[in-house]
Amino acid sequence: MADVTTTGSELPAYRLRRVAQYIQDNLQRELRLAELSAVVHMSPYHFARLFKRSTGVSPHRFLVRHRIDEARALLAAQTVPIAEIARSVGFRTQSHFTTTFRRLTGITPSAYRRNLPHRHIAGLIA
C-alpha cells in the first residue's frame, strides 16, 4: 500500500526520455496511452499518473504540444501545404489541426505562416 500512496514518485528520467523520443519519432501516427505506457513497461493508469507528476501535463497534452511545435517548424519552412503538415504531425483533418493550433497558439496556421516573414524583416530593420 505504501507504493500507491507515495506522493513524491515521478517517472524515472530514463523512462521519460524514452517516451518523449518515441513520441517524437511517431508524431504522424495515432498514439494511444496503452502504447505509450507499453514503451516503458508500465500500466496505462500508473504511467499516466507518474507522467503528469513528472511533466506537469497529461501524456495526451504533451503529445499535442509536441505536434504543434513540430508544425510550427514546418510552417516556418513555408514549403509544405498546411494540409500536408497537419497529416505529417498526426492530425486526421486540416480543420482539427487548425482548431488545435489556434487553441494553443492563439493564431491559425495560415496566419502564423503569413506573419513569420514580417517578424523576421522587422527584426532586421530594427
Per-residue model confidence as pLDDT tens digits over 69-105: 999 999 998 788 999 999 999 999 999 999 999 999 9
Domains, the chain, ordered by start: 8-125 (1.10.10.60)
Give the pTM: 0.81
Choice between 9 and 50, residue whose per-residue pLDDT is larger: 50
63 pLDDT exceeds 80? yes
DSSP H/E element including 9: none
What Cα–Cα distance (Å) separates residue 46 from each residue in 39, 55, 61, 92?
Answer: 13, 14, 17, 28
Distance of alpha carbon 33 from the chain centroid: 14
Query: What's the pLDDT band for 107 if we cut at 50, 70, 90?
Result: very high
Residue 40 CA to residue 17 CA, distance in Å, equals 10
In angstroms, the first-to-last Cα distance of the chain is 61
pLDDT tens per residue across span 21-51: 999 999 999 999 999 999 999 999 999 999 9
